[in-house]
A = this chain, B = another copy of it.
Protein backbone atom coordinates (compact mmCIF):
# COMPACT_ATOMS: atom_id res chain seq x y z
CA UNK A 1 0.00 0.00 0.00
CA UNK A 2 1.25 3.46 -0.87
CA UNK A 3 0.08 6.76 0.56
CA UNK A 4 1.29 8.48 -2.60
CA UNK A 5 -1.87 7.85 -4.61
CA UNK A 6 -3.66 11.15 -4.87
CA UNK A 7 -2.62 14.41 -6.46
CA UNK A 8 1.18 14.26 -6.71
CA UNK A 9 3.29 17.29 -5.89
CA UNK A 10 6.26 17.66 -8.21
CA UNK A 11 8.68 19.71 -6.12
CA UNK A 12 11.63 19.55 -8.50
CA UNK A 13 13.18 22.87 -9.52
CA UNK A 14 11.51 23.01 -12.88
CA UNK A 15 9.41 22.21 -14.68
CA UNK A 16 7.22 23.45 -11.86
CA UNK A 17 3.55 22.93 -11.00
CA UNK A 18 1.47 24.77 -13.56
CA UNK A 19 -1.84 26.46 -12.85
CA UNK A 20 -4.85 24.76 -14.40
CA UNK A 21 -5.57 28.06 -16.10
CA UNK A 22 -2.28 27.90 -17.96
CA UNK A 23 -2.86 24.35 -19.13
CA UNK A 24 -6.40 25.20 -20.16
CA UNK A 25 -5.22 28.21 -22.12
CA UNK A 26 -2.90 25.90 -24.05
CA UNK A 27 -5.62 23.36 -24.76
CA UNK A 28 -6.97 24.89 -27.94
CA UNK A 29 -7.16 24.48 -31.66
CA UNK A 30 -4.34 25.88 -33.75
CA UNK A 31 -4.89 29.59 -34.41
CA UNK A 32 -4.44 31.60 -37.58
CA UNK A 33 -0.86 32.88 -37.49
CA UNK A 34 -1.34 35.52 -40.19
CA UNK A 35 -4.03 37.72 -38.70
CA UNK A 36 -6.55 38.00 -35.92
CA UNK A 37 -6.63 37.11 -32.25
CA UNK A 38 -3.15 35.62 -31.91
CA UNK A 39 -1.46 38.67 -33.36
CA UNK A 40 -3.42 40.99 -31.10
CA UNK A 41 -2.72 38.89 -28.04
CA UNK A 42 1.00 38.67 -28.67
CA UNK A 43 1.23 42.45 -28.80
CA UNK A 44 0.17 42.49 -25.15
CA UNK A 45 2.94 40.15 -24.04
CA UNK A 46 5.89 42.48 -24.49
CA UNK A 47 5.03 45.14 -21.89
CA UNK A 48 4.18 42.45 -19.36
CA UNK A 49 7.41 40.56 -19.98
CA UNK A 50 9.23 43.82 -19.33
CA UNK A 51 7.25 44.38 -16.15
CA UNK A 52 8.30 40.92 -15.00
CA UNK A 53 11.96 41.94 -15.14
CA UNK A 54 11.42 45.55 -14.07
CA UNK A 55 12.86 46.97 -17.24
CA UNK A 56 11.82 49.52 -19.83
CA UNK A 57 14.39 48.31 -22.29
CA UNK A 58 14.13 45.36 -24.71
CA UNK A 59 12.97 41.78 -24.74
CA UNK A 60 13.32 38.91 -27.19
CA UNK A 61 11.48 35.59 -26.92
CA UNK A 62 12.90 32.33 -28.25
CA UNK A 63 11.40 28.93 -28.85
CA UNK A 64 13.96 26.97 -26.85
CA UNK A 65 14.97 26.00 -23.34
CA UNK A 66 17.42 27.61 -20.91
CA UNK A 67 20.44 26.33 -22.81
CA UNK A 68 19.02 27.94 -25.93
CA UNK A 69 18.68 31.21 -24.05
CA UNK A 70 22.32 30.98 -22.92
CA UNK A 71 23.40 30.40 -26.48
CA UNK A 72 21.25 33.26 -27.69
CA UNK A 73 22.84 35.57 -25.13
CA UNK A 74 26.32 34.47 -26.12
CA UNK A 75 25.60 34.76 -29.84
CA UNK A 76 24.27 38.28 -29.54
CA UNK A 77 26.96 39.64 -27.25
CA UNK A 78 30.18 38.01 -28.34
CA UNK A 79 32.44 37.63 -31.29
CA UNK A 80 34.80 34.71 -31.47
CA UNK A 81 37.79 35.24 -29.27
CA UNK A 82 36.06 37.73 -27.01
CA UNK A 83 36.82 37.38 -23.33
CA UNK A 84 34.28 36.96 -20.54
CA UNK A 85 34.53 36.72 -16.79
CA UNK A 86 32.23 33.96 -15.53
CA UNK A 87 31.31 33.85 -11.84
CA UNK A 88 30.46 30.30 -10.86
CA UNK A 89 28.44 29.20 -7.84
CA UNK A 90 27.07 25.92 -9.10
CA UNK A 91 26.65 23.65 -12.04
CA UNK A 92 24.63 26.08 -14.08
CA UNK A 93 27.22 28.83 -13.83
CA UNK A 94 29.71 26.28 -15.10
CA UNK A 95 27.25 25.28 -17.81
CA UNK A 96 27.01 28.81 -19.15
CA UNK A 97 30.80 29.11 -19.18
CA UNK A 98 31.07 25.86 -21.11
CA UNK A 99 28.46 27.02 -23.60
CA UNK A 100 30.31 30.28 -24.23
CA UNK A 101 33.61 28.50 -24.57
CA UNK A 102 32.27 26.03 -27.07
CA UNK A 103 31.18 29.00 -29.18
CA UNK A 104 34.68 30.43 -29.19
CA UNK A 105 34.54 32.82 -26.26
CA UNK A 106 37.50 32.89 -23.85
CA UNK A 107 35.77 32.32 -20.53
CA UNK A 108 37.79 33.14 -17.46
CA UNK A 109 36.20 31.42 -14.48
CA UNK A 110 35.98 32.64 -10.93
CA UNK A 111 34.67 29.65 -9.01
CA UNK A 112 33.19 30.15 -5.56
CA UNK A 113 32.49 26.51 -4.80
CA UNK A 114 29.13 24.83 -4.57
CA UNK A 115 27.94 26.14 -1.22
CA UNK A 116 28.50 29.87 -1.29
CA UNK A 117 27.59 32.94 -3.30
CA UNK A 118 30.07 35.07 -5.18
CA UNK A 119 32.58 37.03 -3.14
CA UNK A 120 32.39 40.60 -4.39
CA UNK A 121 35.93 41.34 -3.24
CA UNK A 122 37.34 38.62 -5.44
CA UNK A 123 35.29 39.90 -8.33
CA UNK A 124 36.56 43.43 -7.74
CA UNK A 125 40.08 42.12 -7.72
CA UNK A 126 39.63 40.30 -11.01
CA UNK A 127 38.12 43.36 -12.64
CA UNK A 128 40.87 45.55 -11.30
CA UNK A 129 43.44 43.20 -12.79
CA UNK A 130 41.77 43.59 -16.20
CA UNK A 131 43.27 46.95 -16.87
CA UNK A 132 42.79 46.59 -20.61
CA UNK A 133 39.08 46.05 -20.11
CA UNK A 134 39.40 42.86 -22.06
CA UNK A 135 36.33 41.34 -20.42
CA UNK A 136 33.48 42.17 -22.71
CA UNK A 137 31.03 40.87 -20.16
CA UNK A 138 30.63 39.43 -16.69
CA UNK A 139 28.38 36.36 -16.59
CA UNK A 140 26.66 35.25 -13.40
CA UNK A 141 23.66 33.24 -12.29
CA UNK A 142 21.26 35.03 -10.01
CA UNK A 143 20.30 31.79 -8.33
CA UNK A 144 22.12 28.66 -9.40
CA UNK A 145 19.45 25.95 -9.69
CA UNK A 146 21.92 23.33 -8.53
CA UNK A 147 23.53 24.87 -5.45
CA UNK A 148 20.62 27.25 -4.85
CA UNK A 149 23.12 29.98 -3.97
CA UNK A 150 21.78 33.44 -4.69
CA UNK A 151 24.16 36.16 -5.81
CA UNK A 152 23.99 39.86 -5.06
CA UNK A 153 23.44 41.38 -8.49
CA UNK A 154 22.95 44.91 -7.20
CA UNK A 155 26.28 44.61 -5.37
CA UNK A 156 27.95 43.24 -8.44
CA UNK A 157 26.84 46.24 -10.48
CA UNK A 158 28.30 48.48 -7.78
CA UNK A 159 31.62 46.65 -8.04
CA UNK A 160 31.67 47.11 -11.80
CA UNK A 161 30.89 50.77 -11.41
CA UNK A 162 33.42 51.20 -8.63
CA UNK A 163 36.07 49.70 -10.85
CA UNK A 164 34.92 51.75 -13.79
CA UNK A 165 34.80 48.56 -15.81
CA UNK A 166 32.69 48.79 -18.96
CA UNK A 167 31.91 45.06 -19.17
CA UNK A 168 28.31 44.14 -19.79
CA UNK A 169 26.57 42.59 -16.80
CA UNK A 170 24.87 39.38 -17.95
CA UNK A 171 22.64 37.50 -15.53
CA UNK A 172 21.01 34.09 -15.75
CA UNK A 173 17.76 34.32 -13.78
CA UNK A 174 16.26 31.10 -15.07
CA UNK A 175 15.80 29.68 -11.57
CA UNK A 176 14.78 32.90 -9.86
CA UNK A 177 12.66 34.79 -12.38
CA UNK A 178 9.25 35.66 -10.93
CA UNK A 179 10.31 34.25 -7.56
CA UNK A 180 13.17 36.40 -6.22
CA UNK A 181 13.11 40.16 -6.41
CA UNK A 182 14.77 41.29 -9.62
CA UNK A 183 15.06 44.87 -10.86
CA UNK A 184 16.91 44.82 -14.13
CA UNK A 185 17.08 48.55 -14.77
CA UNK A 186 17.69 49.61 -11.16
CA UNK A 187 20.45 47.07 -10.86
CA UNK A 188 22.08 47.97 -14.15
CA UNK A 189 21.77 44.55 -15.72
CA UNK A 190 22.57 44.50 -19.44
CA UNK A 191 21.46 41.04 -20.46
CA UNK A 192 19.01 38.94 -18.52
CA UNK A 193 18.38 35.31 -19.40
CA UNK A 194 15.11 33.58 -18.48
CA UNK A 195 12.98 30.57 -19.30
CA UNK A 196 9.34 29.57 -19.04
CA UNK A 197 9.26 26.43 -16.91
CA UNK A 198 10.03 27.63 -13.38
CA UNK A 199 8.66 30.79 -11.81
CA UNK A 200 6.80 31.56 -15.00
CA UNK A 201 4.64 28.43 -14.63
CA UNK A 202 4.56 27.55 -18.34
CA UNK A 203 5.85 24.25 -19.82
CA UNK A 204 9.47 24.14 -20.98
CA UNK A 205 9.92 25.55 -24.46
CA UNK A 206 10.38 29.31 -24.19
CA UNK A 207 13.56 31.24 -23.47
CA UNK A 208 13.82 34.99 -22.95
CA UNK A 209 16.48 37.63 -23.29
CA UNK A 210 15.98 41.07 -21.85
CA UNK A 211 18.72 43.43 -22.97
CA UNK A 212 19.74 47.01 -22.36
CA UNK A 213 20.20 49.63 -25.00
CA UNK A 214 23.87 49.60 -24.02
CA UNK A 215 24.14 45.88 -24.71
CA UNK A 216 22.37 46.37 -28.00
CA UNK A 217 24.59 49.24 -29.06
CA UNK A 218 27.93 47.73 -28.11
CA UNK A 219 27.36 44.35 -29.72
CA UNK A 220 26.27 45.28 -33.21
CA UNK A 221 28.17 43.44 -35.87
CA UNK A 222 29.69 40.77 -33.65
CA UNK A 223 30.37 37.61 -35.60
CA UNK A 224 28.59 34.95 -33.57
CA UNK A 225 25.16 36.31 -34.29
CA UNK A 226 23.11 33.98 -36.51
CA UNK A 227 19.64 34.52 -37.88
CA UNK A 228 17.89 32.40 -35.28
CA UNK A 229 19.63 33.94 -32.30
CA UNK A 230 19.69 37.53 -33.52
CA UNK A 231 17.70 39.54 -31.01
CA UNK A 232 17.15 42.55 -33.27
CA UNK A 233 14.27 41.32 -35.45
CA UNK A 234 12.76 39.52 -32.48
CA UNK A 235 12.68 42.63 -30.31
CA UNK A 236 12.01 45.12 -33.08
CA UNK A 237 9.94 43.09 -35.50
CA UNK A 238 8.51 44.56 -38.67
CA UNK A 239 6.24 41.61 -39.18
CA UNK A 240 4.67 39.20 -36.74
CA UNK A 241 6.75 36.18 -37.75
CA UNK A 242 9.99 38.06 -37.07
CA UNK A 243 9.27 37.98 -33.36
CA UNK A 244 9.82 34.24 -33.54
CA UNK A 245 12.11 33.91 -36.56
CA UNK A 246 9.40 31.91 -38.30
CA UNK A 247 6.35 30.12 -36.97
CA UNK A 248 5.19 31.33 -33.57
CA UNK A 249 5.05 28.89 -30.63
CA UNK A 250 1.32 29.35 -30.61
CA UNK A 251 0.30 27.23 -27.67
CA UNK A 252 3.07 28.33 -25.35
CA UNK A 253 2.16 31.93 -26.09
CA UNK A 254 -1.39 31.41 -24.87
CA UNK A 255 -0.04 29.75 -21.74
CA UNK A 256 2.38 32.62 -21.23
CA UNK A 257 -0.43 35.16 -21.58
CA UNK A 258 -2.35 33.43 -18.80
CA UNK A 259 0.69 33.19 -16.53
CA UNK A 260 1.49 36.87 -17.01
CA UNK A 261 -2.09 37.75 -16.20
CA UNK A 262 -1.73 35.93 -12.92
CA UNK A 263 1.72 37.26 -12.00
CA UNK A 264 1.80 40.80 -13.32
CA UNK A 265 -1.84 41.82 -13.26
CA UNK A 266 -3.60 39.82 -10.58
CA UNK A 267 -1.04 39.22 -7.87
CA UNK A 268 1.59 41.82 -8.77
CA UNK A 269 5.33 41.21 -8.84
CA UNK A 270 6.02 42.70 -5.41
CA UNK A 271 3.50 40.36 -3.87
CA UNK A 272 4.75 37.40 -5.87
CA UNK A 273 8.22 38.05 -4.52
CA UNK A 274 6.94 38.47 -0.95
CA UNK A 275 5.05 35.18 -1.18
CA UNK A 276 8.17 33.35 -2.30
CA UNK A 277 10.24 34.99 0.41
CA UNK A 278 7.85 33.82 3.12
CA UNK A 279 7.64 30.31 1.74
CA UNK A 280 11.42 30.13 1.48
CA UNK A 281 11.77 31.22 5.11
CA UNK A 282 9.30 28.50 6.01
CA UNK A 283 11.47 25.87 4.38
CA UNK A 284 14.58 27.24 6.03
CA UNK A 285 12.94 27.30 9.46
CA UNK A 286 12.29 23.58 9.13
CA UNK A 287 15.80 23.07 7.82
CA UNK A 288 17.35 24.86 10.76
CA UNK A 289 15.49 22.60 13.17
CA UNK A 290 16.44 19.43 11.31
CA UNK A 291 20.06 20.54 11.28
CA UNK A 292 20.25 20.57 15.05
CA UNK A 293 20.92 16.86 15.16
CA UNK A 294 22.29 14.39 12.64
CA UNK A 295 23.62 15.03 9.16
CA UNK A 296 20.89 17.22 7.70
CA UNK A 297 22.16 20.55 6.36
CA UNK A 298 20.92 23.29 4.10
CA UNK A 299 23.52 23.66 1.38
CA UNK A 300 23.86 27.42 1.73
CA UNK A 301 24.65 28.49 5.26
CA UNK A 302 23.86 32.19 4.95
CA UNK A 303 20.12 32.87 4.54
CA UNK A 304 20.89 36.07 2.66
CA UNK A 305 22.62 33.96 0.03
CA UNK A 306 19.80 31.48 -0.51
CA UNK A 307 17.46 31.58 -3.47
CA UNK A 308 13.74 31.94 -2.78
CA UNK A 309 12.62 29.41 -5.35
CA UNK A 310 14.51 26.26 -4.48
CA UNK A 311 16.58 24.98 -1.54
CA UNK A 312 19.40 22.46 -1.81
CA UNK A 313 19.81 20.14 1.15
CA UNK A 314 21.89 17.18 2.10
CA UNK A 315 21.97 14.22 4.40
CA UNK A 316 24.78 11.73 4.71
CA UNK A 317 25.64 8.79 2.51
CA UNK A 318 22.78 7.71 0.31
CA UNK A 319 20.17 9.05 2.71
CA UNK A 320 19.28 11.87 0.35
CA UNK A 321 18.28 9.45 -2.37
CA UNK A 322 16.50 7.16 0.13
CA UNK A 323 14.46 10.07 1.40
CA UNK A 324 13.63 11.24 -2.12
CA UNK A 325 12.37 7.79 -3.05
CA UNK A 326 10.32 7.47 0.11
CA UNK A 327 8.67 10.84 -0.38
CA UNK A 328 7.77 10.05 -3.98
CA UNK A 329 6.64 6.46 -3.61
CA UNK A 330 5.05 6.62 -0.17
CA UNK A 331 3.69 10.12 0.15
CA UNK A 332 3.27 11.81 -3.24
CA UNK A 333 6.07 14.40 -3.17
CA UNK A 334 8.82 14.32 -5.79
CA UNK A 335 11.94 16.12 -4.60
CA UNK A 336 14.69 17.16 -6.99
CA UNK A 337 17.91 15.23 -7.18
CA UNK A 338 21.14 16.88 -6.16
CA UNK A 339 22.88 18.27 -9.21
CA UNK A 340 26.53 19.01 -9.62
CA UNK A 341 27.34 18.75 -5.92
CA UNK A 342 29.36 15.58 -6.25
CA UNK A 343 30.45 13.22 -9.02
CA UNK A 344 27.22 11.78 -10.48
CA UNK A 345 26.74 8.13 -9.71
CA UNK A 346 28.95 8.23 -6.64
CA UNK A 347 27.52 7.64 -3.18
CA UNK A 348 28.32 11.22 -2.32
CA UNK A 349 25.93 12.45 -4.99
CA UNK A 350 23.11 10.58 -3.30
CA UNK A 351 23.42 12.68 -0.18
CA UNK A 352 22.03 15.78 -1.90
CA UNK A 353 18.52 16.69 -2.92
CA UNK A 354 16.46 19.80 -3.49
CA UNK A 355 13.03 21.05 -2.53
CA UNK A 356 11.63 23.53 -5.02
CA UNK A 357 9.17 26.19 -3.96
CA UNK A 358 8.81 28.11 -7.19
CA UNK A 359 5.94 29.51 -9.14
CA UNK A 360 2.44 28.22 -8.45
CA UNK A 361 3.12 27.34 -4.82
CA UNK A 362 1.29 28.08 -1.60
CA UNK A 363 1.46 27.40 2.11
CA UNK A 364 -0.38 24.10 1.79
CA UNK A 365 2.04 22.72 -0.76
CA UNK A 366 5.15 23.75 1.16
CA UNK A 367 3.96 22.69 4.61
CA UNK A 368 2.79 19.40 3.16
CA UNK A 369 6.17 18.78 1.55
CA UNK A 370 8.03 19.52 4.79
CA UNK A 371 5.68 17.25 6.75
CA UNK A 372 6.27 14.48 4.25
CA UNK A 373 10.03 14.90 4.60
CA UNK A 374 9.71 14.69 8.36
CA UNK A 375 7.61 11.54 8.10
CA UNK A 376 10.10 10.06 5.67
CA UNK A 377 13.08 10.67 7.93
CA UNK A 378 11.18 9.03 10.76
CA UNK A 379 10.14 6.06 8.67
CA UNK A 380 13.66 5.55 7.38
CA UNK A 381 15.30 6.07 10.75
CA UNK A 382 17.29 9.07 9.59
CA UNK A 383 18.48 11.08 12.56
CA UNK A 384 17.30 14.70 12.53
CA UNK A 385 16.58 17.59 14.86
CA UNK A 386 13.05 18.01 16.16
CA UNK A 387 10.59 20.87 15.99
CA UNK A 388 10.86 21.45 12.27
CA UNK A 389 7.14 21.52 11.55
CA UNK A 390 6.40 23.76 14.51
CA UNK A 391 9.04 26.17 13.24
CA UNK A 392 7.60 26.04 9.75
CA UNK A 393 4.00 26.60 10.78
CA UNK A 394 5.14 29.42 13.04
CA UNK A 395 6.67 31.11 10.04
CA UNK A 396 3.41 30.80 8.12
CA UNK A 397 1.39 31.91 11.14
CA UNK A 398 3.59 34.95 11.66
CA UNK A 399 2.82 36.08 8.16
CA UNK A 400 -0.88 35.46 8.54
CA UNK A 401 -1.18 37.38 11.77
CA UNK A 402 -1.28 40.92 10.60
CA UNK A 403 -3.36 39.97 7.66
CA UNK A 404 -6.98 39.58 6.91
CA UNK A 405 -8.40 41.52 9.82
CA UNK A 406 -11.86 40.63 8.55
CA UNK A 407 -11.36 37.09 9.75
CA UNK A 408 -10.78 38.06 13.35
Binding site for B on A (CB under 8 A): 1-10, 12, 14-20, 23-24, 26-34, 63-68, 71, 75, 98-99, 102-103, 195, 197, 203-205, 226-228, 244-252, 262, 267, 271, 274-275, 278-279, 322, 325-326, 329-334, 336-337, 360-365, 367-372, 374-376, 378-380, 386, 389-390, 392-394, 396-401, 403-404, 406-408
- State whether A364 touches B360 (Cβ < 8 A): no
Pick from B204, B274, B368: contact of A248, CB under 8 Å: B204
- State whether A5 touches B267 (Cβ < 8 A): yes
Pick from B17, B23, B65, B251: contact of A246, CB under 8 Å: B65
The residue on B at minimum CB distance from A330 is B400
The residues of B that contact A29 with a CB separation of less than 8 Å are 8, 10, 17-18, 20
CA distance A19 to B8 in the complex (A): 10
**Would you list 6 pairs from A and B whose C-beta atoms are within 8 A, ordered by A residue?**
A3-B399, A20-B29, A26-B251, A32-B334, A330-B400, A389-B393
CA distance A217 to B38 in the complex (A): 43
The residues of B that contact A1 with a CB separation of less than 8 Å are 271, 274-275, 278, 399, 403
Pick from B5, B68, B103, B403: contact of A362, CB under 8 Å: B5
* This protein's copies in its complex: 4
The residue on B at minimum CB distance from A392 is B371
The residue on B at minimum CB distance from A367 is B371
The residues of B that contact A99 with a CB separation of less than 8 Å are 227-228
The residues of B that contact A325 with a CB separation of less than 8 Å are 404, 406-407
The residue on B at minimum CB distance from A321 is B407
A36 to chain B, nearest CB (A): 9
- State whether A103 touches B226 (Cβ < 8 A): yes
Pick from B33, B396, B406, B408: contact of A3, CB under 8 Å: B396
Known interface pairs A14-B247, A17-B29. Does A67 touch B228 (Cβ–Cβ under 8 Å)?
Answer: yes
CA distance A16 to B7 in the complex (A): 11
A347 to chain B, nearest CB (A): 15
The residue on B at minimum CB distance from A102 is B227
A30-B197, A65-B244, A332-B365 given; name 18 further pairs at CB < 8 Å: A3-B363, A4-B363, A5-B362, A6-B364, A7-B361, A17-B30, A23-B28, A63-B65, A63-B204, A64-B228, A68-B246, A99-B227, A326-B400, A330-B403, A333-B364, A375-B400, A379-B397, A389-B393
The residue on B at minimum CB distance from A99 is B227
A100 to chain B, nearest CB (A): 9
Known interface pairs A371-B371, A393-B374. Does A12 touch B33 (Cβ–Cβ under 8 Å)?
Answer: yes
CA distance A282 to B386 in the complex (A): 19
**Which are the 3 A-B pairs with shortest beta-carbon distances?**
A368-B368, A6-B362, A67-B246
